């Protein structure tokens, strides 16, 4: 995809994370299921972007997948990655539409918390400048906390992706509190000139209140969609999620 196409200001977009198609492939180190083929099915089903995470341990997505995704996709590629030099160099070669910088621990099952932007201020500022110089949009995956959002603006990120994991894990009143936090932090981020995405732990049962938060542009969802695809097929799993986030919003 040509990176000059800018999707600015649109709302209720769906980015589908295809990592777990590759997780299944890597279980046997075979060619199938192929995440690039999967990404094309997701694109055809109407999703707005493809998200994947090149992890340092290469447990799912491999370097060659990225180059093929960049070559074959018509919709934007959003590359999740740690701000580590090896991965930064690969990302600068691939030239995705967007990078989302995430914290990464080798032993975690999935990205557990948001980035500590304050604690890694100088390194993130320099890394963001390198991507921006190359025409790549930058997003920081952060917990919905005032200090991290202010720091994201200070390091000149264009986007924040608000971590919805706590919202997804809580129930009842606690979930309502998390939702309120996400609403308030979306407002704060926008008031500071940042654009806002959200994701992690979202599924067919909990996504609507997040999709209804004014100002969030794109939801990045992986595990629940790929899991449902086993039962209903990938195209239908994507379409069902699109229907929830685009059509059931008043
Ligand atoms: N956004 C970010 C930054 C992530 O790290 C992940 C997990 O890879 C997701 C969204 C998608 O989370 P889930 O797979 O729980 O939908």
CA 248 / ligand 1 centre spacing (Å): 22
> Residue 25: CB within 6 Å of ligand 1?
no
120 contacts 83 by C-beta, under 8 angstroms: yes
Ligand 1: which atom is nearest the Cα of residue 202?
A: 16
152 contacts 117 by C-beta, under 8 angstroms: yes
Residue-range domains of the chain with CATH: 13-245 (3.20.20.70)
Average pLDDT, the chain: 94
* Per-residue pLDDT reduced to its tens digit, 65-118: 999 999 999 999 999 999 999 999 999 999 999 999 999 876 677 667 899 999
pTM of structure: 0.94
CA 118 / ligand 1 centre spacing (Å): 22
* Per-residue pLDDT reduced to its tens digit, 152-168: 999 999 999 999 999 99
Q: What is the pLDDT of residue 5?
A: 42
CA 112 / ligand 1 centre spacing (Å): 10
Catalytic residue ranges? 53, 80, 200
Separation CA 135–CA 58 (nearest Å): 26
Separation CA 111–CA 94 (nearest Å): 22
Read off the pLDDT band of 8 (50, 70, 90). very low
Separation CA 136–CA 145 (nearest Å): 25
Separation CA 124–CA 71 (nearest Å): 28
DSSP H stretches of helix in the chain:
19-28, 35-44, 63-72, 85-94, 121-133, 146-154, 165-169, 172-191, 207-211, 223-232, 234-242
Give, for ligand 1, the residue of 220, 224, 241 to mutate: max count of ligand atoms closer than 8 Å to Cβ.
Answer: 220
């Amino acid at each position: 995809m040509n990176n000059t196409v800018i999707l600015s200001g649109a709302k209720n977009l769906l980015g589908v994370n295809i990592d777990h198609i590759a997780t299944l492939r890597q279980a046997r180190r075979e060619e199938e299921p192929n995440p690039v083929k999967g990404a094309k099915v997701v694109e055809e089903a109407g999703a707005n972007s493809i998200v994947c995470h090149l992890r340092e341990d290469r447990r799912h997505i491999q370097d060659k997948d990225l180059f093929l995704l960049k070559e074959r996709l018509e919709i934007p590629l959003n590359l999740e990655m740690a701000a580590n030099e090896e991965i930064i160099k690969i990302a600068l070669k691939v030239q995705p539409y967007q990078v989302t910088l995430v914290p990464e621990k080798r032993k975690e099952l999935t990205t557990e918390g948001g980035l500590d932007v304050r604690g890694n201020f100088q390194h993130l500022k320099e890394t963001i400048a390198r991507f921006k110089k190359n025409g790549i949009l930058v997003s920081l995956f952060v917990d919905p906390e005032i200090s991290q959002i202010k720091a994201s603006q200070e390091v000149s990120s264009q986007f924040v992706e608000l971590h919805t994991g706590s919202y997804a894990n809580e129930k009842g009143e606690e979930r309502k509190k998390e939702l309120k936090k996400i609403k308030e932090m979306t407002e704060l981020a926008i008031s500071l000139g940042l654009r806002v995405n959200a994701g992690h732990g979202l599924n067919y049962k909990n996504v609507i209140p997040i999709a209804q938060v004014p100002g969030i542009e794109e939801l990045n969802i992986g595990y629940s969609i790929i899991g449902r695809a086993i039962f209903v097929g990938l195209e239908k799993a994507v379409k069902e999620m699109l229907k929830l986030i685009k059509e059931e919003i008043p």
